[in-house]
Each structure stands twice: as C-alpha cells, then as structure tokens.
Amino acid sequence: MNGSEKIREISVVIPVYNEEENLQALHKEITAVLDDMAGEVASEIIYVDDGSKDGSLKILKELFESDDRVKVIQFRRNYGQTAAISAGFQHAKGEVIVTMDADRQNDPRDIPRLIDKINEGFDVVSGWRKDRKDPFINRRLPSMIANGLISFITRVRLHDYGCTLKAYRSEIVKNIHLYGEMHRFIPAIASWLGVSIAEVPVNHRPRVAGKSKYGISRTIRVILDLITVKFLLSFSTRPIQFFGVLGVLSGGVGFLIGLYLTILKYVYRQSIGGRPLLMLAVLLIFIGVQFVSMGLLGELMARTYHETQGKPIYWIREVYERTSSS
C-alpha cells in the first residue's frame, strides 16, 4: 500500500481477559469514536477472549449480536496477551490495525490521532503514556527502566514500549510471528523490515473497574524476551558472530587462568592440581556458555518448528463473525 494514500478501513483489536465490568462502557466509547470517523474510514472491532473466567464472553456475544462491526474470537484457554494480539492480527481485514487494552485505561479518542500519523506515511505509530496513571514503585519505575533498556539494546528509541495502544499497517504485522511476551517488542521487530516508526503522546486513565493482570513478576520474562529479540535482530542470520564472541571470550579467560596457574607451577613451584580456582573457573565458564547457547538455539528451533509446520501458538474454540453475502 502506498504510504501517501488515505486509510480506508481500520481494525481495532482488543485482547480481553476477565474484564466484564469494563466491556460495555469501553464498547460505547469505541463506537462513538468510530462513528465520528465513519465518513472517512470503515471499521471493525475484534475482541479476543483470552480464556476469561468471568462473564466477559457473554457480554462479547451480546455486543456481537447488537453491532455489525464486532467480531469475537474465543480462545479455549488463557494463552496470554501476545497470542490474543496475534490472533487479532490474523483475522483483521483493515489496512491499519489498532491495538488497545480492554481495561479502559487506553482512551479510544486517541485512535484518530494514530490514524492521522499513519496517513502521514508512517508504518507503526506507538502510543506514549506521558502522564501515566499507575503506581510509581511497582508499575512506572520498572517500566521506565525496561523502556530505557529496550531502547538501548534494540536501537529503536521509544518512551513507552508497554503501551498497548498502537497502530500498524496490516502488511507489516501480518508478516511478524509472535511468541512469549513479544507483543511489546513489535516496533523493534518491525524495524528489521525497514519500517518508519512514530510515537504519539496519548491519554492514560486510571483503572476504574476490574483488576490489573500485570505485576513486577513479568520483568524477568520481559528481560528474557529482550535477549531473544536482540539475538534475532542482530544474529539470526549470522549466529557465528554471537557464539564466536562467546567462544573467544571464554577461551581467552580460560587461557589467562591457565597461564596464571602455569606460572605458579613452573616459576614459583606451587602445586595447582587441588586449587579450587581451577575447577571453579572451568565449571562456571562451561556452564554459562552451555546455558546461553542452549537457550538461544532452542529459541531458533522452536520458531523453525512452529513456522515450518504452521503450528499456531493458540487454539480458537469459535469465531463469531458475519459473512458477507455475494
């Protein structure tokens, strides 16, 4: 699609997990915004029920029955936000796909601003919760550290990787395979395709109903996924440059330790056979290299397995959508 052409159809993708108290009000807000845009673009709303255990699915079915623009995807169990967003991407028909949370902290009134930025020629537009309404210690502070770390490692400078409110050209995200907690890294992954990325300050609202599904415990998973993203962006087609560096470093350290112990033995006539330093250094070097190598090689094997066999990362129980009559 030519970047200078105006967008004619958008898809709004919303992962849902136990948000029954927010769905009706959220849908009302979204439809009000889309109705105002109706003269410029057509739209659809895709709700992905990620194995909710409350009454969310019942409400989603009611929204499907009452609004022709609604499509509902029901997972068999909870697979996580990344899988839900990926399913929304694959079922979306719009030229641009907008993602947002179901907790009403994202403001649907920001959607036109994202679309305007896409119309300027950008491929990915990321929301920036500049005035974030979350607790500082357990939410904002870890997020600030993570955003700085992600920007430094991936070289894609964004203030807020964790903001779900983003807009993507469909041809970009439909060619990206997501695993783990990778949804937050989509701009960084897309940068490998040579896309143009913009960031727009968006309104962030305090949660008024339901419970947050996020906590500081996700930090470790984000760090592990960040390592994977860095490896895939920089070394997926030339892994020898990654493993070779590790090999040179580990060999160099081993050589220096061996040289030191050799000097002790032949110059100072000291016994080195029973020294803990020798065993500990060798053990730690080999264990570190083996674990990192196995983890990254395993990641590549998993991706090859999924993509060559077409094996999905989620299973859908049912899709509620209207078929167009010919």
Going from the C-alpha of 254 to that of each of 99, 243, 280, 289, the distances in angstroms are 49, 16, 11, 12
Q: Cα–Cα distance between 58 and 76 in angstroms, integer?
A: 15
Evaluate if residue 147 carries a pLDDT over 90.
no
Mean pLDDT of 6-25: 95
State the chain's mean pLDDT as an integer: 85
Helix (H) or strand (E) holding 126: strand 124-128
Question: Which of helix, strand or coil describes residue 165?
Answer: coil
Domain residue ranges of the chain, discontinuous segments joined by +: 9-234, 237-309
* CA-wise closest residue to 168 among 5, 6, 12: 12
Q: What is the pLDDT of residues 58-103, one digit of tens each?
A: 999 999 999 999 999 999 999 999 999 999 999 999 999 999 999 9
Largest Cα–Cα separation, the chain: 92
Does the predicted TM-score (pTM) go above 0.75? Answer: yes
Q: Cα–Cα distance between 209 and 21 in angstroms, integer?
A: 6
Residue 306: pLDDT band by 50, 70, 90 thresholds? low
Sole residue written with tokens 């727009």: 200
Q: Cα–Cα distance between 243 and 30 in angstroms, integer?
A: 48
Evaluate if residue 45 carries a pLDDT over 90.
yes
Evaluate if residue 326 carries a pLDDT over 80.
no
* CA-wise closest residue to 181 among 228, 240, 241: 228
Q: What is the pLDDT of residues 119-128, one digit of tens each?
A: 999 999 999 9
pLDDT of residue 274: 79
Q: What is the pLDDT of residues 232-242, one digit of tens each?
A: 777 765 676 67
Residue 218: pLDDT band by 50, 70, 90 thresholds? low
CATH of 9-234, one of 3.90.550.10, 1.10.268.10, 3.30.465.10, 2.160.20.10: 3.90.550.10
Helix extents (H) in the chain: 23-36, 56-66, 81-91, 111-119, 141-154, 170-173, 186-191, 218-235, 240-266, 276-309
Answer yes or no: are the C-beta atoms of 46 and 75 closer than 8 Å: no
